[in-house]
Structure 1
């Protein structure tokens, strides 16, 4: 079993069993105020394993299913071990929630859940190595790099605007981790990305 499939199974089990138990969501969610007041740092990780509903869960896990296996194999080939993918996923979960913590650490009413930050990291790691591959957004084929630019712009705009209950900061910073993590371990990927970008067929 691949690590990405194992993460999907674990996330589905935790999320589905939490749907009818709101206290479980409160216990696992990213609750910045409780992190600050009670030092509950585990929330940076556990929040990525609970979701609001089946649609939220399905969107994240389907995306992880299609891109996670590719990135897992790529990391194994580039860095020499499967555990790099697990490290990458955990770092993305944590890093994508840091802006949320900073903004809301004094707000006892704010909570955030979902694996979106880590899933964004996986997707953008794919964009780094396959920028012109078509991905389907609501059944519409779009080059991955075009989607990436639009996604980053939209996430940055909505993070500033706020008010829709979605943690757009996690989406944006997860995407940043998705690019920086592989580049930090293999700087030569920057040249590979530029070569791919300028050799569009």
Structure 2
């Protein structure tokens, strides 16, 4: 591991400062800076950026910052500051966009189930207000519990973390250094970057599709990971391919 590049250093410091600041401010910080579902009154457009600097706990920020430290500097040395920042933030935005898209799909399906069960839009709005202020809502025997959980969890659960941006960095790293041998804890065998990072991506894709948690807590925003990785991969693949085409002989 070489020296930490300036951009990575600033990102590390910013995330750490946000983490301690959020812990000091408590719930107010998450209300303002976490990314809320757009139908929730707490939602603000600035949150598509600020949520990348918020984290849900020590293990959450530790993993993300460790990955940024391990892979970020080498990638920035290859790309330069501007392109590195472009991948980092575009992956973070892509992560937020895909997560919100799938949240809307789940939310709308559950909402329609309530309507089909004869619950009016006004009654649903009242339940949203109740669950937001008291944490309680009316239970309908005709509506499965998992449908209610899907409706209210999408509405109430904010998104935090740099994971989407980090997945973009990991995917870009795998494009630039596909055969670089990497090691993971307790496995003394080197694994090429394209296989290790690709395998990690597939595990997250499996969890996103099935809802079965294999890595991390059950409330992990797997679609955010997928969105960040896809943006990072496509952007880096395009840049690398065009760089090769621009420098080869015709």
Length-normalised TM-score, structure 2: 0.67
Give the root-mean-square deviation of aligned CA atoms: 2.2
**Cα shift readout 1:45-70 (whole Å, capped 9, x = no counterpart):** 11110111111111100110111111
Equivalent positions of 1:168-187 (< 5 A) are 168-187=222-241
Q: What is the total number of aligned residue pairs between the two structures?
A: 185
Pair member with larger Rg: 2
1:30 equivalent to 2:35? Answer: yes
Alignment match, 1:150: 199
Alignment match, 2:53: 49
Runs of 4+ in 1 over 3 A off after TM superposition: 36-39, 188-191
- Rounded Cα–Cα distance in structure 1 between residues aligned with 2:44 and 2:160: 15
Which secondary structure state, in structure 2, belongs to the residue aligned with residue 33 of structure 1? coil
Which secondary structure state, in structure 2, belongs to the residue aligned with residue 108 of structure 1? helix
Alignment match, 1:120: 167
- The 1:16/1:84 distance shift into structure 2, 3 A limit, reads same
Equivalent positions of 1:63-78 (< 5 A) are 63-76=67-80
Alignment match, 1:102: 101
Which secondary structure state, in structure 1, belongs to the residue aligned with residue 156 of structure 2? coil
| Equivalent position to 1:133, from 150, 158, 180 | 180
Give unmatched runs, 5+ long, in structure 1.
Answer: 77-81, 192-201
Which secondary structure state, in structure 2, belongs to the residue aligned with residue 55 of structure 1? helix
Length-normalised TM-score, structure 1: 0.82
Alignment match, 1:196: none
Alignment match, 2:88: 89
In the TM superposition, what is the alpha-carbon distance from 1:72 to its structure 2 partner? 0.9
- The 1:144/1:190 distance shift into structure 2, 3 A limit, reads farther
Higher mean displacement: 23-32 or 50-59 = 23-32
